[in-house]
Amino acid sequence: MKKKLLSIVLCVAVISSLLVGCGTKDGAATDGASTGKDDAKKIGVAMPTKDLQRWNQDGENMKKSLEDAGYTVDLQYANNDIATQVSQIENMITGGCDALVIASIDGGSLGTVLADAKTAKIPVIAYDRLIMETDAVSYYATFDNYMVGTIQGQYIVDKLDLENQAGPFNIELFTGSPDDNNARFFFGGAMDILTPYIESGKLNVVSGQKAFEEVATLNWSTEEAQKRMENLITAHYADGTKLDVVLSSNDSCAIGITNALVNAGYTKDNFPILTGQDCDITSVKNILAGTQSMSIFKDTRTLAAKVVEMVNALMKGETVPVNDTETYDNGTGIIPTFLCEPVFADAANYKELLIDSKYYTEDQLK
Ligand code: BGC
């Protein structure tokens, strides 16, 4: 009798472990998000931080678009802490994710954990920021980072009418975090446009700070940018020297720069031309208030939709859509990339770009 009971218990245990074994890798049977075709494969989405509005939007758009396509999603934010991001990715790998979409904090710090992904044959898509020095990255999806910089540079050239005006106009330069591969593309693009005018003397970098290392802002920190702008004002502009332009690679830096300028007494009537990127709500409000001049609009819905297409292709073994196989070498070779196209938003076109497209409501910008 006892023997019979034991064999029934064993049998049940074996059957249920088989069922669990089938269900967990794909999260299918248990998660109930099955489309019926892909058995609800699970996608890990690792975002750097909730501190910046854009990453919240990116994360939410990715989650929604992937879920709409029938996937289960493990979305994590790492509070800009590298160790947290590494352990979140580890959990995604051991938790049975079928693909990883990662916007890295420090592009050079994920090699070890991604080696595990490669061993487990989990494809990795680098999202927005390239992940460096690892051959575990399968694809990269981003906005054209170099073009972001050239648009910012050209905006300055057009606003100052540098083709026709002699100047000299005084300018200061700010870019982003040195551990973010994008920062060099943004800055490089802008400087390719601005350098001829600096060399001809139409633009004058009063502080003399022009090298990437001198103008970088660790972690894209608003506070760091504010501090540096305060120091620049004290050292070079406190005597009334006019500041005509500040190149800022993104909005989080532009907001710090704006704070410093406002605290130093600049108003919308004498505010320098100031660039940005992301169309964060604070920056769009500043654009409407006449302080920040423009921001680059990178519609995160477009990027999310593209990444979902890439995930779908990967999961079905189909050809993954890419449109650049030359530009982004992560140190182990070129990573096939899909580049979305950025545009600029300013007071003249924000309605069409941001409101009519339902990216924001009018109320959000009040
Ligand atoms: C992104 C920018 C963003 C910056 C700071 C960059 O990698 O491409 O859109 O402003 O990071 O988060």
Instruction: Report the atom number in ligand 1 closest to the C-alpha of 49.
Output: 12
Could you tell me the distance, in angstroms and rounded to a whole number, from the CA of residue 302 to the centre of ligand 1? 16
The pLDDT tens digits along the chain (366 residues) read: 444 444 444 334 433 333 333 333 223 333 333 344 447 999 999 999 999 889 999 999 999 999 999 999 999 999 999 999 999 999 999 999 999 999 999 999 999 999 999 999 999 999 999 999 999 999 999 999 999 999 999 999 999 999 999 989 999 999 999 999 999 999 999 999 999 999 999 999 999 999 999 999 999 999 999 999 999 999 999 999 999 999 999 999 999 999 999 999 999 999 999 999 999 999 999 999 999 999 999 999 999 999 999 999 999 999 999 999 999 999 999 999 999 999 999 999 999 999 999 999 999 999
CA of 303 relative to ligand 1 center, distance in Å: 13
Q: List the CATH code of the domain at 145-298+361-365.
A: 3.40.50.2300
- Ligand 1 site residues, Cβ closer than 6 angstroms: 52, 54, 128-129, 176, 180, 182, 220, 250, 252, 277-278
Domain 22-137+299-341 has CATH 3.30.200.20: no
**Distance from the alpha carbon of residue 225 to the mean position of ligand 1, in angstroms:** 14
* CA-nearest residue, atom 3 of ligand 1: 250
CA of 183 relative to ligand 1 center, distance in Å: 8
Classify each residue of 48-70 as buried b or exposed e, where b means 16 or more C-beta atoms within 10 Å of its C-beta: bbeebbbbebbbebbbebbbebb
Domains 22-137+299-341 and 145-298+361-365 share a fold: yes
What is the full DSSP assignment across 237-277?
Answer: ITTS----EEEESSHHHHHHHHHHHHHTT--TTTPPEE--B
What's the whole-model pTM score? 0.87
Residue 277 confidence (pLDDT): 98
Structure token pair of residue 47: 């975002």
The residues, ordered by sequence, that sit 6+ positions from 201 with a Cβ below 8 Å of its Cβ are 167, 168
Q: State the closest ligand 1 atom to the C-alpha of 48, by its place in the atom list counted from 1.
A: 12
- Spatial neighbors of 32 by CB under 8 A, at least 6 apart, are 40
Task: Take atom 6 of ligand 1 and give the residue whose Cα is closest.
Answer: 182
CA of 250 to the centre of ligand 1 (A): 7
Tokens of 358: 């339902």
- Calculate how far, in angstroms, residue 180's C-alpha sits from the geometric centre of ligand 1: 8
What pLDDT score was predicted for residue 313? Answer: 97
- Separation of alpha carbons 219 and 223, rounded Å: 10
Q: How many angstroms is it from 36 CA to the middle of ligand 1?
A: 37
Rounded to whole angstroms, how far apart are CA atoms 355 and 348? 13
For residue 212, the model assigns a pLDDT of 98
Q: Whose CA is nearest to atom 9 of ligand 1?
A: 278
Name the burial class of residue 309, with classes exposed (0-12), middle (13-18) and buried (19+) by CB atoms within 10 angstroms of its CB. Answer: middle
| Tokens, residue 30 | 């248990």
Q: Where are the domains of the chain?
A: 22-137+299-341, 145-298+361-365
**Is 248:272 a contact under the CB 8 Å cutoff?**
no
Mutational test site, ligand 1, from 180, 221, 298, 340, max ligand atoms within 8 Å of CB:
180
């940005």: which residue's tokens? Answer: 276
